Chains A and B, each alone.
Chain A
Amino acid sequence: MDQLVIGGRSLQSRLFIGTGKYSADTLIPEVVKKSGSEVITVALRRIDFNSPTGNVMDHIPSGMQLLPNTSGARNAQEAIRIARLAKAAGCGNWIKIEVISDNKYLLPDGYETIKATEVLAGEGFVVLPYISPDLMVAKQLVEVGAAAVMPLGAPIGSNRGLKTKELLRILIEEIALPVIVDAGIGKPSDACEAMEMGAAACLLNTAIASANQPELMAEAFGMAVAAGRKAYLAGLGRSEKYASSSSPLTGFLHN
């Protein structure tokens, strides 16, 4: 049975989803159900623990693996504080490190991400850092104890697809940890392509949340990720630039 194991937990689904940007949090249970996803990320800073009418956590089906994220952190220190608070608030010990000090493109800060990962992994967190697909950063994250690496396919929320494909390919080849493509995936075909390349999983939010019918889009992504994974396991045939010629150039060689 093909399973993804992270932080000691076996996952059947390789699609991780988010909780932001929905027109109503009440859509989340159906999105979860239709996508088949087992991991869901939530920004700790946005959880309204004091609200009398409840908060986003009330809509996350039990049994899902929570992946709180450090959205809003501008440096390692802030990310570490958020992670500890998430744990104290009962969100478990998984944490997605997101350190961003660029509000224009939302590109992550590799150096601060490595620092935060080192501290939190040392404290027993299952750390999934969001990074630019930089091989050296990824290697250092392996060194300091990350549980996976999460390189971007394109800037967050851009829906532009796998713009960083060549760099992702290198990470998938070189990094022994699960490589989870996070951010930029706009269409199910993008997710499928990432999985065909050998990505361990995909994390996406905007493409589902901003669809006209989020539940239907969630289902489409679930199928695309599963299809891409199967294709990867089956071993894709070689792709040829030219058709196999029926009049081969070396056909005259007889001995």
Chain B
Amino acid sequence: MSFYDEYLQYSNADMEEVFQHTTSADIERIIGKDRLTPRDFLALLSPKAEDYLEWMAQKANQLTVQNFGRVILLYTPMYLSDYCTNKCTYCGFNVTNAFTRKQLTMEEVEKEAQTVAASGIQHILILTGDAPAIAGVPYMKECVAILKRYFSSIAIEVYAMEEEEYAQLMEAGVESMTMYQETYNPILYDRLHVKGPKKDYRYRLDAPERACKAGMRAVNIGALLGLDDWRRDGFFTGLHANYLQNKYPGVEVSISLPRIRPTMGNCETGNSVNDKSIVQFMTAFRLFMPRAGMPLSTRENAEFRNHAIKLGITKMSAGVQTAVGGHIDSQENSGQFAVSDTRNVKEMSDAILQLGYQPVFKDWQAI
């Protein structure tokens, strides 16, 4: 049994029909419920539910304060390597993009770590492209050995791996993983991932579960909204999170809601996702999974992020550089995506305080 089996059960369902049959009375009843079914969650993603955005926002706010408190955990990504063997039409690291690739040496990792740690950050997310021969498990383990001295929590956002490889990284000090499916639509997935190991849809789909099996403490998933219809990919992201949480109750499951940003290898997707839609997804998911985390990246601008704090978000990145070595050399501009919210850690903390929330730098430590 894999999430794929569950995906298949729903993939043929006619969502349009469900949306058409969803009434205002249904939405009101669902918002009042304590526990939502996947079908309820889908109804909250319907065009009809847009009329109830404020209701959903109020309930999402109340559930988030109750389950997480008035706190926002801050983290920072660190790009270790932009070597990549994949050709993905929407990504700046695309193998066919001509730019000078870079991979941090251990000295550089240490310098980046010092710079980031000096800002107060204690939760770090390390990222690489998909190039196991260069930036593989042995390289990551070396990096983690250094980062452990500076950070209380280390998360990875790297290529899909085997369970055994996740176990090795955990042994080295990693305790959290992020893996975006990008889109749950297999046909579109195949088209967007032109070549490279990432082309294997099923292998990537099952990666979060392999991490759970390896005993990872926290697993974060997401779809890159805007590739396919956001309602569809949003629904499957929630369903996937629910599947993992039910099957691996000890794992802290969370979802991200990235929407597509301009990159160097920009492609036209034709599925723009506006603020209202993101908020609908965010609040519907909070009602569906009240205890699941929801990080929000700096793909979003400062104004939107300030508002999102009250809509269900639990973690935020700050002081972000999306280029390899960007923390020690801010001239680097070959980033994976364009950062919209350029506030540094101090500015972000102040903004969070201003909104009546506490910025938190540490909520975990490997013991």
Contacts and interface: CB of A to CB of B under 8 A. Distances in A.
Interface of A: 20-25, 44-48, 50-53, 72, 74, 78, 81-82, 85, 101-104, 106, 157-159, 206, 209-210
B66 A48 contact: no
Interface stretch (B157-165, B231-239, B244-252): B244-252
A209 B364 contact: no
A53 B120 contact: yes
A250 to B, nearest CB: 48
23 contacts: A20-B71, A21-B69, A23-B69, A23-B356, A24-B353, A24-B358, A25-B358, A45-B365, A46-B363, A47-B362, A48-B122, A48-B152, A51-B362, A53-B120, A74-B250, A101-B249, A102-B249, A102-B250, A103-B291, A106-B291, A157-B67, A159-B66, A210-B69
B69 A78 contact: no
B362 A21 contact: no
Contact of B122 (A50, A81, A101): A50
A234 to B, nearest CB: 34
Given A21-B68, A23-B70, A51 B361 contact: yes
A81 B367 CA distance: 7
B67 A23 contact: no
B253 A103 contact: yes
Contacts of B137: none
Given A53-B120, A206-B66, A23 B364 contact: no
A-B pairs, top 4 by smallest CB distance, nearest first, are A21-B69, A23-B70, A101-B250, A48-B362
Nearest to B248: A103
Contact of B367 (A48, A78, A158): A78
A206 B62 CA distance: 12
B357 interface: yes
A94 B122 CA distance: 27
Contacts of A78: 367
Nearest to B122: A48
A22 B70 contact: yes
Contacts of A82: 367
Nearest to B246: A104
A22 B362 contact: no
A45 B120 contact: no
B249 A103 contact: yes
Residue of B65, B68, B245, B367 with highest tally of chain A CB at under 10 A = B367
Contacts of A48: 122, 152, 361-362
Contacts of B356: 23
A205 B358 CA distance: 16
Contact of B120 (A51, A104, A209): A51
Interface string B339-363: 0000000000000010011101111
Interface in B85-135: 120, 122
Contacts of B71: 20-23
